[in-house]
Every structure is written in C-alpha cells, then in structure tokens.
C-alpha cells in the first residue's frame, strides 16, 4: 500500500467509519507505558481533543518509542479502529511510528495545570497547551467572523496606513518611526531636524485608523478597518497593551442610534458565532476559566443592551447609595468603578452610555443641540468595562473648525479632514472595538496578554 496523505486529528475523531491505513502527525501530550503495549495521546492542534494511539511492543522501535516524553513530535501510520476502552470512540492502532523530534526532560510544559504567569514566560510554547491552543483557534475563527459580519452587510474593508505622518490622531501617545541615527541625531535650531529623516517629517505608528477611514466612509459608504494599532501609553493593566488589534467600522448617512444598533449587533453576532463554531474550545473556558461564562454569553446574545444617557447614568450612580472611591458628578468622566457598577451590579448586562459632556470627549464627536453634550457612546460589558467607544462624527464644517480651534489644535494639520466636510459632507458615525477585549469577553480570560500570541507591553518585548 502506498503512503497515505496526512490526516488531521479533528477529522479522525469525527470519522464515521474505521480506516485501514491512516497517517497522522503530532505532538505527544501523554504516554502511558507498559511492557506489552502503551498508550500515546497525540495532539496536532487541529482541535482540542487528543487521539489515543495504541502501540504494541512488537513494532520495531518500541523501546525508543516508550522512552519518548510529553512534547515530542511523531509520525504514525496505523489503523483507525473503534476503541475497546472507555472514554473515547476512536483510537489508532499503530503499525509504525517515526520520531520527528524528541523533547528532552527539561521540556517546560507538563501534564498539569500551569499558571498563566508562567506560561507567559514561555509564550513560544504555550500554544501547545490546551487552553492556549483553544484561545488561538478562537482568535482565528473570530477574525474571520469579523470580516463575515461586515461583508454580509456590504461594508468595505479599508487598509488604513500603519505609519502615519499625522500628529492629530489624538487617541494616545504615539511610537516614533525613524531611521535617524539615535547616537547622532541631526538638529536644527536645537530641535530634531526631521527633514533629514526617512519621510522628511516626523512619523509615527498609528493609534487609530478612524480619521483615515472616515474619508473612505464619505465615498464608499459603509467601511471598516481591522488591523494592528499602537499606543505608547505607560499602561500596566490587564486590559491594555502597546500593540493590539482594533476594528473600526464607519457608516455614511448614519447617526448615533444607528451606531449603537451596529455595536450591539456586532457583539451579539460574534458571541453567537463563537458559541456555534467553537463549541468544543469554548467548553474548556466554561469549565476551567469562568464558571459563569455560558450564562454571561447567553445574556449578551438574548437581550438588547441597555441604552442609557450619560446624565441618567450619573443620576443612577448618585442615587445608588454606594460608596465610590471617586465622586460622581455631572461633567466628570465615569471611572472604572462606576462603569462596573452599572454593567455588573445595577443592570447585570451590557450597557450603552451615550451623550457624554463635550469636555471629556474628542474634538471630532458631533455636538448635540444642547451644546453641552456630544453624540458619543461607550459600550460597557461585565468584567471588562469599556469594549467599544464610538460616536456620530461632527459633519458640519464650521462647527468642526470651531472645535479644532477651541481645543487649540493647529487647523492646518487637519486640512484634509476638514476638506471632507467642505465638499459634500454627510452625517456619519462609527466606533472602535478592541479585538483582544472581545476575546476576553468571549473566553472569560482575565488578562489581555493571554489572548494575543506575543504581548507587547511597557518594558516587555520578548519573542
């Protein structure tokens, strides 16, 4: 018989019939040895479950095989049969096994639960564990679901630039991009002479694709970005990273109500998608990471989000009788503890707070008729807090120009942004959703560093 093609373990486990000859390859998760025959559990990353391989002692390299340890990679040819043992439907009776790569005794992953902190120090090996392989399969599936959601609704995916010369993105501290010799920086009148730099001007990594994507919104209609985003804030929390992925939809001829509707539908779609398409992986999180996970997810999918004007949110907080570390007052931004009270204790479900005081929000948000608030909205979810921040954008040329001047920004920096309002302006709205925060919501994982392959945070650039 000729060498069969490699079959993935997920396909073996979903098999409906026995197979006389299969070829599978993977990494040993555990090996139970005896003199006459042994059990090897093999995982190839195609699914959470392992397949059990039976090795009879009469195969030629038996003594070599039984000395293998967790982590070794092997190639197995054998027969797929119904398992006579309990606990699994199928198993493979090996005819021959080739060792592809051994794993010496200092292999850092063991057949037991490790802490997330430890696994973070071996981020190159952690996807070989059950929990992390599940996270990264879900991450991949959800990335696809994001495109599917928007493509089904005729949103165009726009690739906004990673390197920006715009110092007006205004969403946080930026990383510089330069080819200047840091040991010999050219100066002009005491300041860095950026004319000598690669782009001939100061350049940075993007903190948001929003301003760029707005120009496409006002031409292609409904658009979105999905890509990496960089912020050099010195944030040391379980919810922030220096490099993360963000989704920013932007809808033409849309107002804040449309924006809130889209935000809710988007989150519900993605949660539902995970429940339907990643059920086996999700079960691991419901069992070992967050016992209430399925209840939380079902609550999100089955109920409309609460829509709450900022002013009413302040009233609720003031009348709650709850002692907060930070005072609640109209005009002040809601603190984490306030947001958590609203979504976790008071409503016990996602809450959309909207119409915030203008002084605590960005210049591009649309001024409401009361001249005191802007058409902004934040979607708050239990355990994470803010997962979406969005707004209807100021489309009125004069009003936008005045806001830019009132905030002492240089109008010249915003010439192309203002142009979009000068020529055929139109109402539009959008939001930003942190992809990793969504993954935290869906999996119950409590530290954002554990839902991205190699986290970048202040003072951490390993791997």
Residues 182-241 that bind RNA (CB under 7 A): 208, 231, 233-241
Closest CA to 140 of 277, 280, 293: 277
Least CB distance from residue 350 to RNA, whole Å?
Answer: 13
Contact flag: residue 275 with RNA (CB under 7 A) = no
Contact flag: residue 111 with RNA (CB under 7 A) = yes
Q: Cα separation of 193 and 82, whole Å?
A: 73
Contact flag: residue 89 with RNA (CB under 7 A) = no
Closest CA to 455 of 132, 108, 172, 210: 132
Tokens of 364: 């591009």
172, 235 Cβ separation under 8 angstroms: no
Tokens of 21: 């000859």
Least CB distance from residue 428 to RNA, whole Å?
Answer: 17
Q: Please, what's the b/e burial string for 1-40 (b: 16 or more CB within 10 A of its CB; e: otherwise)?
A: eeeeeebbbeebbeeeeeeeebebbbbbbebeeeeebbeb
> Distances in Å between the alpha carbon of 61 and those of 2, 51, 104?
21, 21, 18
Contact flag: residue 386 with RNA (CB under 7 A) = yes
Q: Which of 348, 389, 402, 426 binds RNA (CB under 7 A)?
A: 389
Least CB distance from residue 38 to RNA, whole Å?
Answer: 8
Q: Which of 60, 87, 329, 412 binds RNA (CB under 7 A)?
A: 87
Q: Which of 1, 17, 60, 112 binds RNA (CB under 7 A)?
A: 112
| Selected range binding RNA among 25-33, 344-352, 365-373, 399-407, rule: CB under 7 A | 25-33
Least CB distance from residue 294 to RNA, whole Å?
Answer: 22
What are residue 305's phi and psi, to 5 degrees? Answer: -75, 145
Tokens of 351: 């809450």
Least CB distance from residue 449 to RNA, whole Å?
Answer: 6
A 10 A CB-CB count for 324 gives 13
Tokens of 27: 């990494």
Q: Which of 8, 19, 114, 141 binds RNA (CB under 7 A)?
A: 114
Contact flag: residue 142 with RNA (CB under 7 A) = no
Q: 293-302 and 435-443 helices cross at what angle (nearest 10)?
A: 120
Compose the 55-84 pattern: x for residues touching RNA by CB under 7 A, - for all others: ------------x-xx------------xx
- Please, which of residues 146-175 interact with RNA by CB under 7 A? 171-172
Least CB distance from residue 58 to RNA, whole Å?
Answer: 14
Least CB distance from residue 64 to RNA, whole Å?
Answer: 12
- Please, which of residues 318-357 interact with RNA by CB under 7 A? 326, 333, 335-337, 340
Least CB distance from residue 248 to RNA, whole Å?
Answer: 8
Least CB distance from residue 390 to RNA, whole Å?
Answer: 8
Contact flag: residue 105 with RNA (CB under 7 A) = yes
Least CB distance from residue 2 to RNA, whole Å?
Answer: 27
Contact flag: residue 263 with RNA (CB under 7 A) = no
Number of residues that bind RNA (CB under 7 A): 72
Tokens of 181: 């010799």
Contact flag: residue 268 with RNA (CB under 7 A) = no
Contact flag: residue 409 with RNA (CB under 7 A) = no
Contact flag: residue 372 with RNA (CB under 7 A) = no
258, 429 Cβ separation under 8 angstroms: yes
243, 448 Cβ separation under 8 angstroms: no
Least CB distance from residue 378 to RNA, whole Å?
Answer: 7
Nearer to RNA, 111 or 422 (CB): 111
Nearer to RNA, 165 or 172 (CB): 172
Q: Which of 314, 437, 441, 443 binds RNA (CB under 7 A)?
A: 437
Nearer to RNA, 117 or 413 (CB): 117
| Selected range binding RNA among 85-93, 160-168, 341-349, 399-407, rule: CB under 7 A | 85-93
């Amino acid at each position: 018989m000729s060498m069969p093609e490699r079959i993935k373990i997920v396909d073996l486990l979903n098999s409906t019939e026995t197979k006389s000859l299969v070829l599978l390859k993977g990494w040993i998760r555990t090996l139970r040895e005896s003199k006459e025959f042994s059990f090897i559990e093999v995982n190839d990353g195609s699914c959470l479950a392992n397949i059990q391989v039976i090795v009879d002692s009469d195969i030629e390299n038996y003594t070599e095989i039984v000395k293998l340890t967790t982590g070794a990679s092997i190639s197995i040819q054998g027969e797929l049969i119904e398992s006579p043992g309990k606990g699994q439907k199928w198993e493979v009776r090996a005819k021959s096994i080739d060792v592809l790569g051994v794993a010496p005794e200092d292999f850092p992953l063991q057949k037991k639960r490790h802490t997330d902190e430890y696994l973070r120090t071996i981020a190159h090996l952690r996807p070989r564990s059950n929990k992390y392989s599940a996270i990264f399969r879900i991450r991949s599936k959800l990335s696809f679901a994001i495109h599917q959601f928007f493509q089904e609704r005729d949103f165009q995916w726009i690739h906004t630039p990673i390197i920006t010369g715009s110092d007006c993105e205004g969403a946080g501290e930026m990383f510089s991009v330069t080819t200047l010799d840091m040991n010999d920086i050219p100066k002009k009148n005491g300041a860095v002479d950026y004319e000598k730099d690669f782009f001939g001007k100061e350049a940075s990594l993007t903190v948001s694709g929003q301003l760029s994507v707005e120009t496409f919104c006002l031409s292609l209609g409904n658009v979105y970005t999905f890509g990496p985003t960089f912020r050099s804030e010195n944030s040391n929390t379980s919810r922030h990273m220096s490099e993360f992925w963000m989704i920013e939809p932007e809808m033409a001829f849309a107002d804040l109500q449309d924006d809130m509707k889209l935000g809710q539908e988007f989150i519900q779609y993605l949660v539902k998608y995970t429940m339907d398409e990643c059920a086996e992986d999700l079960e691991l999180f419901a069992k070992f990471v967050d016992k209430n996970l399925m209840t939380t997810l079902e609550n999100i999918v089955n109920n409309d989000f609460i829509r709450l004007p900022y002013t009413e949110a302040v009233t609720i907080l003031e009348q709650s009788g709850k002692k907060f570390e930070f005072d609640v007052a109209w005009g002040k931004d809601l603190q984490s503890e306030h947001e958590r009270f609203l979504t976790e204790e008071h409503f016990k479900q996602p809450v959309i707070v909207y119409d915030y005081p203008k002084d605590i929000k960005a210049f591009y948000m649309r001024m409401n008729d009361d001249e005191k608030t802007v058409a902004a909205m934040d979607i708050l979810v239990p355990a994470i807090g803010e997962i979406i921040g969005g707004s209807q954008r100021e489309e009125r040329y004069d009003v936008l120009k005045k806001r830019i001047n009132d905030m002492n920004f240089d109008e010249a920096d915003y010439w192309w942004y203002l142009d979009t309002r000068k020529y055929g302006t139109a109402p539009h709205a959008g939001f930003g959703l942190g992809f990793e925060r969504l993954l935290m919501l869906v999996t119950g994982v409590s530290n954002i560093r554990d839902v991205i392959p190699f986290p970048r945070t202040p003072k951490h650039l390993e791997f």
